[in-house]
Chain A
Amino acid sequence: MESAQSQRPLMVKVWLGLLGLTLIEVLLAYIHVGPLLMLSALMTFSVVKAVMIMAYFMHLKYDKPALTWMLAPALVACILILMAYLLPDGYLLLENRP
């Protein structure tokens, strides 16, 4: 961690990037885009922001790749399984909504 201080400008850039993405999200809410586009855009931005936070703020990018490989696939797989169970049925409910 001898480079802890030298990473400061990079971390400020990451913070500015996170603020910028959040600002775009709020603007999308302000101009009221359609629900499907809104959901896709917001979730894309959220995943990008989550990866930025984990890679830089939580330092995963600078740790051994083995740590990421142990943590990330399990989480992603569990979330995908949850979505595979629930979302097709949710789509059906949306279609059948009175």
Chain B
Amino acid sequence: MSAHAHAEHVTLAGRPMLGVGLKKLGMWLFLISDALTFATLLICYSYLRIANEWPHAFEFSPGILFSSLMTLILLSSSLTMVFGVAAAHDGDRNAARLWTLLTALGGAAFVGLHLTEWNHLIHEGVTPFENPWGVPLFGGFFFLITGLHMTHVVIGVGYLLVVALGFGGGKFAAEDVEVAGLYWHFVDLVWMFVFPLIYLLSVAPGS
């Protein structure tokens, strides 16, 4: 921790700013605004869901079990991210790089499974404009919300790869790994709302 690291913890006026670096503060502010984007979509989805006879599209097996596996992978990738950030702060560049790469691998696995599921649903006739079970809005909201989340995961995987390789090579500071970790945990956090609202509440009766 040199004078450079200290300098990041003060504002331009020279006063400490909430005890965190400006990069971390910037990421937090972005995440709060992004949380509102997802909150708005999920609340609009809930509103339209109440107003319509919503399809219960997901059989418990395999549909719900499949998305539960995706949830397990995403949660576990958050844990490896925590280990990566801890290693980065301990100055262990190799361990930080490995844990962060493992996190990115978890994210990539999540995207792979998610695309498999999308493919399956598309073959069943679900598009953003129609589906075999009921109101067309179901498909629209399903692809909009899970698609926006998947976009975040894809961006996160790229972000983690850049940070893992850059930190391993000495280009980035531990704070950069921590800030990338904040983004990754947020992607996990959003899924904690998408998974119950989109999937668990739409389990097919008698399945």
Contact = CB atoms under 8 A, between A and B. Distances in A.
Interface of A: 1, 4-5, 7-8, 11-12, 15, 18-19, 22, 25-26, 28-30, 32, 35, 38-39, 42-43, 45-46, 49-50, 53-54, 57-59, 63-64, 66-67, 70-71, 74-75, 78-79, 82-83, 86-87, 89-91, 93-94, 97
A98 B183 CA distance: 44
A interface, over-half SS: helix
A22 B44 CA distance: 24
Contact of A57 (B39, B64, B82, B196): B82
B interface, over-half SS: helix
Given A22-B71, A25-B196, A42 B51 contact: no
Interface residues of B, number: 55
17 contacts: A19-B75, A22-B71, A25-B195, A25-B196, A29-B64, A38-B201, A42-B201, A46-B192, A53-B78, A53-B188, A57-B81, A58-B185, A67-B19, A78-B39, A79-B39, A91-B50, A93-B51
